[in-house]
């Protein structure tokens, strides 16, 4: 049986992926004979946008004591505190949802925006999920996960609203994200009360600049810019299927990760 190259376990081929960024998420945007891109349409970021598997992350703010404790409990496979796959408690190992903001800070090789009168929908290639970004004027909910009966439950991808800051910049604000999700592949945490601002600036027809700012006083001592990245409009306006398949993840863990760690499964606090 032919196995899809997009449905393998994410850690199995990640080293190879880093060398294939130019081919990820579809073809490069169409050029013009003059070398100049066409101007950006007004108030429109629709279409499929291609980027690297690992976008350019910025230096985070220092942790608060509570944030440092949460960070030390996360055992990532990347960074100065990296552990082997069998010892990691990265939720991605068992194909848990990336959630937000990690969905925009990891595996960003393809996403698409669709505009409707009441909301903008973002389709994410990795794990084939979507985000609803409401543009009908509703406010962001507050107190997600709180004790009040009126408090909304946290969500893997939080609650998002959007607005146009100008004719080329779409601003998205998100809060109420589930604390089980990580900010990035280094295992940095966030609270359910964290506030995330994404600014999507369409520079021209084929270029989309994305900037994400995180404000989370419970975890970080100040707001900080987590990511700045330019995405390109894919020539092939179609997302690929790229899945994390639980059965394949289990097989990979048992046949490769555990033997590499000495043949036993470490106690992994999930």
Is residue 148 assigned to a domain? no
Q: What is the pLDDT along the chain (270 residues), one digit of tens a residue?
A: 344 444 445 554 443 333 333 334 444 444 444 568 899 999 999 999 999 989 989 999 999 999 999 999 999 999 999 999 889 999 998 899 999 999 999 999 999 999 999 999 999 999 999 999 999 999 999 999 888 888 999 999 999 999 999 999 999 999 999 999 999 999 999 999 999 999 999 999 999 999 999 999 999 999 999 999 999 999 999 999 999 999 888 888 788 877 877 765 444 444
Q: What is the DSSP string of 97-145?
A: ---TTGGGTS--SEEEEEE-SSEEEEEETBTTEEEEEE-SSPPPP--TT
Q: Can you give the pLDDT at residue 28? A: 42
Is residue 30 assigned to a domain? no
Is residue 143 assigned to a domain? no
The Cβ of residue 252 has, within 10 Å, a number of other Cβ atoms equal to: 19
Is residue 22 assigned to a domain? no
What are the tokens at 40?
Answer: 């950006």
* CB-facing half-sphere around the CA of 146: CA atoms within 13 A: 11
Spatial separation of the C-alpha atoms in residues 254 and 91, rounded to whole Å: 16
Q: Can you give the pLDDT at residue 241? A: 92
Cβ proximity of 110 and 234 under 8 Å: yes
Tell me the pTM: 0.84
- Domains identified in the chain, total number: 1
Containing domain of residue 59, as a range?
A: 43-138+153-260
Spatial separation of the C-alpha atoms in residues 47 and 164, rounded to whole Å: 17
Is residue 269 assigned to a domain? no
Q: Can you give the pLDDT at residue 86? A: 87
Is residue 203 assigned to a domain? yes
Is residue 220 assigned to a domain? yes
What are the tokens at 199?
Answer: 């600014």
Is residue 214 assigned to a domain? yes
């Amino acid at each position: 049986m032919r196995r899809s190259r997009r449905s393998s376990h994410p850690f199995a081929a990640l080293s190879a992926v880093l060398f294939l960024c130019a081919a990820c998420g579809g073809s490069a945007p169409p050029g013009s004979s003059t070398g100049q891109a066409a101007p950006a349409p007004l108030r429109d970021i629709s279409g499929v946008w291609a980027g690297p598997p690992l976008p350019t992350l910025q230096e985070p703010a220092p942790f608060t004591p509570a944030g440092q404790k949460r960070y030390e409990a996360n055992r990532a496979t990347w960074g100065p505190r990296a552990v082997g796959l069998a010892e990691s408690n990265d939720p991605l190992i068992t194909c848990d949802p990336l959630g937000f903001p990690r969905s925009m800070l990891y595996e960003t090789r393809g996403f698409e925006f669709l505009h409707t009168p009441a909301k903008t929908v973002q389709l994410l290639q990795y794990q084939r999920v979507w985000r609803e970004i409401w543009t009908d004027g509703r406010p962001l909910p507050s107190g997600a996960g709180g004790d009040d009966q009126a408090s909304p439950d946290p969500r893997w991808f939080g609650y998002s609203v959007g607005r146009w800051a100008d004719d080329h910049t779409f601003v998205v604000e998100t809060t109420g994200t589930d604390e089980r999700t990580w900010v990035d592949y280094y295992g940095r945490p966030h609270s359910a009360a964290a506030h995330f601002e994404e600014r999507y600036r369409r520079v021209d027809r084929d270029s989309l600049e994305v900037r994400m700012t995180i404000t989370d006083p419970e975890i970080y001592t100040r707001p900080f810019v987590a990511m700045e990245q330019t995405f390109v409009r894919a020539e092939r306006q179609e997302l690929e299927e790229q899945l994390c398949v639980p059965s394949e993840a289990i097989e990979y863990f048992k046949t490769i990760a555990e033997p590499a760690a000495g043949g036993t499964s470490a106690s992994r606090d999930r």
